[in-house]
Structure 1
């Protein structure tokens, strides 16, 4: 398939509208990896890798903002040992949006 062709675009996932607050919550500098608990009911966790260091954070369901968290396991296999699953940006945004909805925002 050629990029830019109709056939090439048919396999592209549809874009969804994302609330500005949710977009702000997932938009941050650095290389970001998101995690949550196996059953996807735990908090959203993220690791941001910047030139200045690594920052592990949790999205607070009550504060609705990122807060420092204890160290997160690095490799995917290690995360699985701790009962965490890796999320992509869309899955993380969905869980953050659900937390904001539950909090009435």
Structure 2
């Protein structure tokens, strides 16, 4: 009998929009970039653990864990039908994600204490569909392109672990932004967006869990507030945003 978690994952793959909706992908360009970086980091960890460096980064790890592993016939049929509707470039990893979920659910083969390999990639697909890879090794994520730097570099990447959908939504915005927080991290996150003619727009992530206009950075720059704001990276910003979201949900 197929595990419920495997079936849930299969349904997520089936429910993703594989129609090539560029607007949807553009809306989530920032979160998709971070999710792809996290997948590259995790796939480097799993490839190192199983000697799969030659197949990194987009590979089916179940073939390294247990070469004899096969899905139950009924699940194989269901997966094959599902993958027919999946964009070609994503079929291998979507199938691998389902196979790994079923292998781990069986519980008869020990796997390393590593973060879920394919979860960032499944979230990536859910937020805008496939990516494309060109002959120079660049990954076109729709709205942004990145180039994997090599397995050893990604092993040392800063983890991006804040995968809550609300946090990912809060990170998505049009154009470039920088993130800022008090030096002691005691206050809310502010993002600054450059506008035309040297102007800029500042927004704070409020207790209502949305971005609203603010003067906090201007006041900090002019030394008119005790809060000393400093620029932070987007991964740390995501952690602070998620902390605010989780804090707001507590009774």
Normalised TM-score (structure 1): 0.74
Listed as ranges, the matches of 1:40-55 within 5 Å are 40-51=185-196, 54-55=200-201
- Cα distance change on mapping 1:99 and 1:72 into 2, 3 Å: same
What is the match of residue 59 of structure 1? Answer: 205
What is the match of residue 157 of structure 2? Answer: 12
Say if 2:188 and 2:205, in contact at 8 Å, map to a contact too. Answer: yes
Which of 70, 74, 89 is the aligned partner of 2:215?
70
CA distance in 2, matches of 1:83, 1:71: 10
CA distance in 2, matches of 1:104, 1:18: 16
In terms of fraction of residues, the more helix-rich structure is: 2
Please, which runs of 5 or more residues in structure 1 have no aligned partner? Answer: none
Flag the structure with larger Rg: 2
1:16 partner SS: coil
Say if 2:162 and 2:238, in contact at 8 Å, map to a contact too. Answer: no
In terms of fraction of residues, the more strand-rich structure is: 1
**Cα deviation per residue 1:29-78 (whole Å; 9 max; x = unaligned)?**
121111111110101111012458522101102x11000112734xxxx8
Say if 2:183 and 2:229, in contact at 8 Å, map to a contact too. Answer: yes
Normalised TM-score (structure 2): 0.34
More relative contact order in 1 or in 2 (CA 8 Å, sep 6+)? 1
- Cα distance change on mapping 1:56 and 1:12 into 2, 3 Å: same
Between the two proteins, the alignment pairs up a number of residues equal to 96
